[in-house]
Amino acid sequence: MQPIKNIKDIPEFDLLTGGSSVCAGCGPSMGLKLALKVLGPKTIIINSAGCMTLLPLFPNTPLKVSWIHNAIENAATTAAGARHGLDALGIKDMNVVVYAGDGATYDIGFASLSATAIKNERVIYICYNNQAYGNTGFQCTTATPYGSDTKTTPRGKENPIGNTTIHKDMLKLMGVHRVYCATASLAYPVDFLNKINKAKERDGFSYIELLGTCATGWNFDPRYTIKISRLAVRCGMWPLYEIDDRKLSLNKEFKELKPVDEYLQLQGRYKQLPPDGVIKLQSLVNEHWAELNEFNEKRYV
């Protein structure tokens, strides 16, 4: 498939149709709907237990592609098995795509992901990162940003910050596996789909991390899903970049970032983050942004 130039080039067909039980304004399901426009019907989605597991609910499914749900921690190696199976059958034209949340990716499934990546299995791994265990009601993962309120890091007298752990730098970790890695945002669908397209053309493993903007968990009005997805990029909370053969490329450069406060204000999960928490979060964002700019178009990992 040729690179997509603008939003009008995005195919109109849908392989994720209506009738699913996801929340209003659900970013991850929008992400899958978009990704399938590039992936096409010859696709097997390997899902790890999480919000998206509820897309098919027997005997109904909104999906027009194949779907395997195994458990939570093993989507990558289930995908590797499916790829080996397809190879044994001589089927080369099927995409094997993992669609897994951040808990399944950063935490419980990291060993399975790492092993599949380092062996460069022909799998496209898309992590829809909603920055918490969403399906169980929003508990902290190692992808949860500093300062986020979650059900297992609630704000309180003893700890007004919420989550005090700085999240894992997953792109860097995946970059050292020498595979194609990229971040993506729903507000930049052309960028996202071109990254999927790039991954699809590869004869190996790719890791794409989509900000899984989550109205329910982040506690915002569902109509703001795209607005918040855009602000995340503009504030430097979710920079868009790729690592390819260990080299970094920033995909959206800004002379100046918007202050993170603009992004935080729209979301209930940050509403009561005290000023020193906001300052700390801003400094983490600045540090990351400076690092990305320093290594832009250079060897990064």
Partner 1 sequence: MKHLLITGNEAAAWGARLIKPHFIPTFPITPQTECIETLARWKVEGDLPDTDFERMESEHSVMSAAIGAAAVGVRVFTATSSQGLMLMHEVLYIASGMRLPIVMVNISRGLSAPVTLWSDHNDFLDQRDSGWIMFHAENNQEVLDMVLQGYRIAEDPRVLLPVMVNMDGYVLSFTDEPVIIPSYEDVKQFLPAYDPQHTITSDRPVTVGPPVMDEYTDYKAQMHLASRNALTVLDEVQNDFEKIFGRRYHTVDEFMLDDAELVLITQGSMSTTAKAAILEMREEGIKVGLLRLRVIRPWPGEIICKALQNVKAIAVIDRNIAPGKGGIMLPEIVESLYHSINRPLVSGFIVGLGGKPQTEAKIKEITHKLANDLASGRPRIEWNDVEVS
- Angle, helices 75-88/110-118, rounded to nearest 10 degrees: 40
Q: Which of 73, 191, 209, 242 binds partner 1 (CB under 8 A)?
A: 73
Contact call for residue 144 and partner 1 (CB under 8 A): no
- Token duo for residue 250: 């920033």
Which lies closer to partner 1 via its Cβ, residue 66 or residue 139? 66
Which lies closer to partner 1 via its Cβ, residue 8 or residue 58? 58
Site residues (CB under 8 A) for partner 1, limited to 98-127: 111-112, 114-115
Tell me the one-letter amino acid at 117. A
Task: Judge whether 182 and 239 are in contact, CB under 8 Å.
Answer: no
Which lies closer to partner 1 via its Cβ, residue 7 or residue 89? 89
For the bound state, the minimum distance from the C-beta of residue 144 to partner 1, rounded and expressed in Å, comes to 25
Contact call for residue 66 and partner 1 (CB under 8 A): yes
For the bound state, the minimum distance from the C-beta of residue 47 to partner 1, rounded and expressed in Å, comes to 9
Which lies closer to partner 1 via its Cβ, residue 24 or residue 91? 91
Per-residue binding string, partner 1, 19-58, x by CB under 8 A, is: ----------------------xx-x-x------xx-xxx
Contact call for residue 78 and partner 1 (CB under 8 A): yes
Sole window of 24-32, 82-90, 158-166, 218-226 interacting with partner 1 (rule: CB under 8 A): 82-90
Which lies closer to partner 1 via its Cβ, residue 19 or residue 268? 19
Q: Provide DSSP, 220-280.
A: --GGGHHHHHHHHHHTTSS--EEEETTEEEESS--SSPPPHHHHHTT-GGGTT--HHHHHH
For the bound state, the minimum distance from the C-beta of residue 78 to partner 1, rounded and expressed in Å, comes to 4
Counting residues that bind partner 1 (by CB under 8 A) gives 42
Q: Which of 2, 89, 156, 297 binds partner 1 (CB under 8 A)?
A: 89
Q: Which of 87, 169, 201, 287 binds partner 1 (CB under 8 A)?
A: 87
The whole-angstrom separation of Cα 212 and Cα 208 is 12
30 contact partners, CB below 8 Å, separation of at least 6: 186, 225
Contact call for residue 71 and partner 1 (CB under 8 A): yes
For the bound state, the minimum distance from the C-beta of residue 175 to partner 1, rounded and expressed in Å, comes to 19
For the bound state, the minimum distance from the C-beta of residue 50 to partner 1, rounded and expressed in Å, comes to 12
Let me know the angle formed at the C-alpha of 166 by 74 and 79, rounded to the nearest 5 degrees: 15
100 contact partners, CB below 8 Å, separation of at least 6: 46, 47, 48, 50, 75, 76, 109, 125, 126, 127, 128
Task: Judge whether 100 and 139 are in contact, CB under 8 Å.
Answer: no
Q: Which of 63, 232, 273, 292 binds partner 1 (CB under 8 A)?
A: 63
Let me know the angle formed at the C-alpha of 140 by 137 and 141, rounded to the nearest 5 degrees: 115
User: Residue 248 pairs with which residues in a beta bridge?
Assistant: 243, 296
Q: What is the SS3 assignment for 129?
A: strand
CA distances from 55 to 16, 99, 169, 170, 245 (A): 9, 12, 29, 26, 34
**Residues within the interface to partner 1 (CB under 8 A):** 41-42, 44, 46, 53-54, 56-59, 61, 63-71, 73-74, 77-89, 91, 93-94, 111-112, 114-115
